[in-house]
Structure 1
Amino acid sequence: MKTLDLTEAASLLKIHPKTLQRLAQSGAVPACKVGRAWVFIDDLLFQLLMAKSASRVSVADSQEKSTCRSTDAKTPPCGGSNSRPFAGSRSLYSKALGLPTSGRRSKSTTSSPPPDGSKNGSE
Protein backbone atom coordinates (compact mmCIF):
# COMPACT_ATOMS: atom_id res chain seq x y z
CA MET A 1 0.00 0.00 0.00
CA LYS A 2 1.36 3.38 -1.05
CA THR A 3 0.15 6.93 -0.51
CA LEU A 4 -0.03 9.38 -3.38
CA ASP A 5 -0.32 13.13 -3.54
CA LEU A 6 -2.80 14.92 -5.78
CA THR A 7 -0.64 15.03 -8.90
CA GLU A 8 0.50 11.41 -8.56
CA ALA A 9 -3.06 10.17 -8.07
CA ALA A 10 -4.29 12.28 -10.99
CA SER A 11 -1.54 10.82 -13.15
CA LEU A 12 -2.52 7.30 -12.07
CA LEU A 13 -6.19 7.93 -12.90
CA LYS A 14 -5.25 9.87 -16.06
CA ILE A 15 -7.33 12.91 -15.15
CA HIS A 16 -6.50 16.54 -14.40
CA PRO A 17 -5.50 17.29 -10.79
CA LYS A 18 -8.28 19.91 -10.42
CA THR A 19 -10.84 17.32 -11.52
CA LEU A 20 -9.49 14.84 -8.98
CA GLN A 21 -9.58 17.51 -6.29
CA ARG A 22 -13.28 18.20 -7.02
CA LEU A 23 -14.05 14.46 -6.95
CA ALA A 24 -12.23 14.10 -3.63
CA GLN A 25 -14.05 17.08 -2.12
CA SER A 26 -17.42 15.65 -3.16
CA GLY A 27 -16.55 12.20 -1.79
CA ALA A 28 -16.68 10.45 -5.17
CA VAL A 29 -13.04 9.36 -4.80
CA PRO A 30 -11.61 7.97 -1.54
CA ALA A 31 -9.17 10.53 -0.17
CA CYS A 32 -8.11 12.25 3.01
CA LYS A 33 -7.09 15.85 3.44
CA VAL A 34 -4.05 16.21 5.68
CA GLY A 35 -3.44 19.87 6.36
CA ARG A 36 -3.66 21.53 2.97
CA ALA A 37 -2.75 18.45 0.91
CA TRP A 38 -4.95 15.65 -0.38
CA VAL A 39 -3.64 12.13 0.25
CA PHE A 40 -4.78 9.11 -1.77
CA ILE A 41 -4.14 5.40 -1.21
CA ASP A 42 -3.24 3.60 -4.42
CA ASP A 43 -5.07 0.34 -3.49
CA LEU A 44 -8.33 2.24 -2.91
CA LEU A 45 -7.98 4.02 -6.26
CA PHE A 46 -7.42 0.67 -8.02
CA GLN A 47 -10.51 -0.77 -6.29
CA LEU A 48 -12.52 2.25 -7.40
CA LEU A 49 -11.38 1.76 -11.00
CA MET A 50 -12.21 -1.96 -10.92
CA ALA A 51 -15.66 -1.31 -9.44
CA LYS A 52 -16.45 1.33 -12.06
CA SER A 53 -15.27 -0.85 -14.94
CA ALA A 54 -17.20 -3.88 -13.60
CA SER A 55 -20.39 -1.83 -13.32
CA ARG A 56 -19.94 -0.58 -16.91
CA VAL A 57 -19.52 -4.15 -18.16
CA SER A 58 -22.63 -5.33 -16.32
CA VAL A 59 -24.64 -2.42 -17.74
CA ALA A 60 -23.43 -3.22 -21.26
CA ASP A 61 -24.40 -6.89 -20.82
CA SER A 62 -27.91 -6.01 -19.68
CA GLN A 63 -28.36 -3.62 -22.60
CA GLU A 64 -27.49 -6.34 -25.13
CA LYS A 65 -30.26 -8.61 -23.84
CA SER A 66 -32.98 -5.97 -23.78
CA THR A 67 -35.93 -6.19 -26.13
CA CYS A 68 -37.23 -3.46 -28.34
CA ARG A 69 -39.92 -1.43 -26.59
CA SER A 70 -41.10 0.48 -29.64
CA THR A 71 -44.88 0.51 -30.07
CA ASP A 72 -47.50 2.18 -32.18
CA ALA A 73 -49.45 3.26 -29.10
CA LYS A 74 -50.62 6.84 -29.03
CA THR A 75 -49.25 8.91 -26.21
CA PRO A 76 -51.60 11.35 -24.50
CA PRO A 77 -50.90 15.02 -25.16
CA CYS A 78 -49.20 16.85 -22.36
CA GLY A 79 -49.22 20.48 -21.34
CA GLY A 80 -51.84 23.09 -22.04
CA SER A 81 -54.68 24.20 -19.85
CA ASN A 82 -58.23 22.96 -19.37
CA SER A 83 -59.51 26.12 -17.69
CA ARG A 84 -62.01 28.33 -19.44
CA PRO A 85 -61.37 32.07 -19.52
CA PHE A 86 -63.61 34.20 -17.33
CA ALA A 87 -65.83 36.52 -19.37
CA GLY A 88 -64.77 39.66 -17.51
CA SER A 89 -61.09 38.72 -17.30
CA ARG A 90 -60.15 40.57 -20.51
CA SER A 91 -61.36 43.90 -19.15
CA LEU A 92 -59.72 43.21 -15.77
CA TYR A 93 -56.40 42.50 -17.45
CA SER A 94 -56.74 45.55 -19.68
CA LYS A 95 -57.41 47.78 -16.67
CA ALA A 96 -54.50 46.27 -14.76
CA LEU A 97 -52.15 46.78 -17.70
CA GLY A 98 -53.48 50.25 -18.47
CA LEU A 99 -54.79 49.24 -21.90
CA PRO A 100 -57.88 50.79 -23.50
CA THR A 101 -60.95 48.88 -22.37
CA SER A 102 -63.43 49.89 -25.08
CA GLY A 103 -64.46 47.27 -27.58
CA ARG A 104 -63.96 49.64 -30.55
CA ARG A 105 -60.59 50.20 -32.04
CA SER A 106 -59.62 53.75 -32.79
CA LYS A 107 -58.47 54.69 -36.27
CA SER A 108 -54.87 55.58 -36.56
CA THR A 109 -53.21 57.47 -39.35
CA THR A 110 -49.60 58.08 -40.06
CA SER A 111 -50.10 61.76 -40.76
CA SER A 112 -52.65 64.22 -39.46
CA PRO A 113 -54.27 66.98 -41.58
CA PRO A 114 -53.03 70.51 -40.98
CA PRO A 115 -55.14 72.54 -38.53
CA ASP A 116 -56.32 75.00 -41.25
CA GLY A 117 -58.00 72.23 -43.26
CA SER A 118 -55.84 72.47 -46.40
CA LYS A 119 -54.71 69.28 -48.16
CA ASN A 120 -51.01 69.99 -48.11
CA GLY A 121 -49.05 71.51 -45.29
CA SER A 122 -47.70 74.49 -47.34
CA GLU A 123 -49.67 77.52 -48.63
Structure 2
Amino acid sequence: MTHSAGAEWAVSMETLNLEQAAQFLKLSPEELRRRAKAGRVPAAKVGKCWCFIKDDLAEYVRSLYSSPRQALRVTFGKEVTPCHSKSAVTPGTSTSLRHPASELDALLALPTKNKRRNCTTA
Protein backbone atom coordinates (compact mmCIF):
# COMPACT_ATOMS: atom_id res chain seq x y z
CA MET A 1 0.00 0.00 0.00
CA THR A 2 1.60 3.27 -1.12
CA HIS A 3 0.50 6.64 0.24
CA SER A 4 1.89 10.00 -0.68
CA ALA A 5 3.20 12.19 2.15
CA GLY A 6 0.49 14.76 1.51
CA ALA A 7 -2.28 12.19 1.84
CA GLU A 8 -0.97 10.98 5.22
CA TRP A 9 -0.71 14.57 6.42
CA ALA A 10 -4.29 15.35 5.39
CA VAL A 11 -5.66 12.25 7.11
CA SER A 12 -3.89 12.93 10.43
CA MET A 13 -4.96 16.60 10.65
CA GLU A 14 -8.35 16.98 12.29
CA THR A 15 -10.02 20.35 11.82
CA LEU A 16 -12.77 21.85 13.95
CA ASN A 17 -15.29 24.57 13.27
CA LEU A 18 -15.92 27.41 15.71
CA GLU A 19 -18.52 25.58 17.78
CA GLN A 20 -16.47 22.37 18.01
CA ALA A 21 -13.30 24.28 18.94
CA ALA A 22 -15.20 26.30 21.56
CA GLN A 23 -16.49 23.08 23.09
CA PHE A 24 -12.96 21.59 23.04
CA LEU A 25 -11.53 24.67 24.81
CA LYS A 26 -14.52 25.05 27.17
CA LEU A 27 -15.14 28.60 25.90
CA SER A 28 -18.18 30.28 24.44
CA PRO A 29 -18.07 30.53 20.64
CA GLU A 30 -18.11 34.34 20.86
CA GLU A 31 -15.12 34.43 23.24
CA LEU A 32 -13.21 32.02 21.00
CA ARG A 33 -14.03 34.18 17.97
CA ARG A 34 -12.63 37.25 19.77
CA ARG A 35 -9.44 35.41 20.76
CA ALA A 36 -8.95 34.00 17.25
CA LYS A 37 -9.53 37.41 15.66
CA ALA A 38 -6.95 38.94 18.05
CA GLY A 39 -4.46 36.19 17.19
CA ARG A 40 -4.35 34.78 20.71
CA VAL A 41 -5.66 31.36 19.62
CA PRO A 42 -4.26 29.56 16.54
CA ALA A 43 -6.91 29.71 13.83
CA ALA A 44 -7.52 30.59 10.20
CA LYS A 45 -10.51 32.18 8.61
CA VAL A 46 -11.47 30.23 5.51
CA GLY A 47 -14.07 32.27 3.67
CA LYS A 48 -16.55 33.34 6.32
CA CYS A 49 -15.83 30.46 8.71
CA TRP A 50 -13.13 29.99 11.33
CA CYS A 51 -11.08 26.80 11.05
CA PHE A 52 -9.08 25.29 13.94
CA ILE A 53 -6.63 22.37 13.92
CA LYS A 54 -7.23 20.18 16.95
CA ASP A 55 -3.50 19.52 17.57
CA ASP A 56 -2.82 23.28 17.50
CA LEU A 57 -5.55 23.86 20.08
CA ALA A 58 -4.11 21.14 22.33
CA GLU A 59 -0.67 22.80 22.08
CA TYR A 60 -2.30 26.16 22.87
CA VAL A 61 -3.82 24.69 26.05
CA ARG A 62 -0.43 23.21 27.01
CA SER A 63 1.15 26.66 26.64
CA LEU A 64 -1.25 27.95 29.31
CA TYR A 65 -0.03 25.50 31.96
CA SER A 66 1.33 27.27 35.02
CA SER A 67 5.10 27.69 35.32
CA PRO A 68 5.54 25.41 38.38
CA ARG A 69 4.04 22.47 36.44
CA GLN A 70 6.38 23.11 33.55
CA ALA A 71 9.30 23.41 35.96
CA LEU A 72 8.63 19.89 37.24
CA ARG A 73 9.62 18.37 33.90
CA VAL A 74 12.74 16.31 34.44
CA THR A 75 15.64 16.72 32.03
CA PHE A 76 18.51 14.28 32.07
CA GLY A 77 22.07 14.87 30.93
CA LYS A 78 22.07 18.61 31.46
CA GLU A 79 24.78 20.07 33.60
CA VAL A 80 24.19 22.97 35.93
CA THR A 81 25.92 26.05 34.61
CA PRO A 82 27.50 28.42 37.12
CA CYS A 83 26.12 31.90 37.53
CA HIS A 84 28.40 34.55 36.06
CA SER A 85 26.52 37.51 37.50
CA LYS A 86 28.60 40.02 39.43
CA SER A 87 25.81 40.40 41.97
CA ALA A 88 25.52 36.66 42.65
CA VAL A 89 26.19 35.55 46.21
CA THR A 90 28.55 32.64 46.73
CA PRO A 91 27.47 30.29 49.54
CA GLY A 92 29.37 31.08 52.74
CA THR A 93 29.99 34.73 51.89
CA SER A 94 28.17 37.79 53.09
CA THR A 95 26.62 40.56 51.08
CA SER A 96 27.26 44.19 51.82
CA LEU A 97 25.24 47.25 50.97
CA ARG A 98 26.73 49.67 48.49
CA HIS A 99 26.13 52.64 50.81
CA PRO A 100 27.16 52.64 54.46
CA ALA A 101 24.29 53.01 56.91
CA SER A 102 25.15 56.64 57.65
CA GLU A 103 24.78 57.59 53.95
CA LEU A 104 21.44 55.80 53.75
CA ASP A 105 20.24 57.53 56.91
CA ALA A 106 21.24 60.88 55.43
CA LEU A 107 19.36 60.14 52.19
CA LEU A 108 16.26 59.02 54.05
CA ALA A 109 16.29 62.15 56.22
CA LEU A 110 16.10 64.57 53.29
CA PRO A 111 13.40 67.19 53.89
CA THR A 112 10.28 67.09 51.77
CA LYS A 113 8.39 70.10 50.50
CA ASN A 114 5.02 70.94 51.99
CA LYS A 115 2.06 70.53 49.70
CA ARG A 116 0.51 73.74 48.43
CA ARG A 117 -2.81 74.60 49.89
CA ASN A 118 -5.76 75.34 47.69
CA CYS A 119 -6.08 79.12 47.72
CA THR A 120 -9.32 79.26 45.75
CA THR A 121 -11.51 78.34 48.72
CA ALA A 122 -12.81 81.03 51.04
TM-score bucket of the superposed structures, by smaller chain: 0.3 to 0.5
Q: TM-score, normalised by structure 2?
A: 0.48
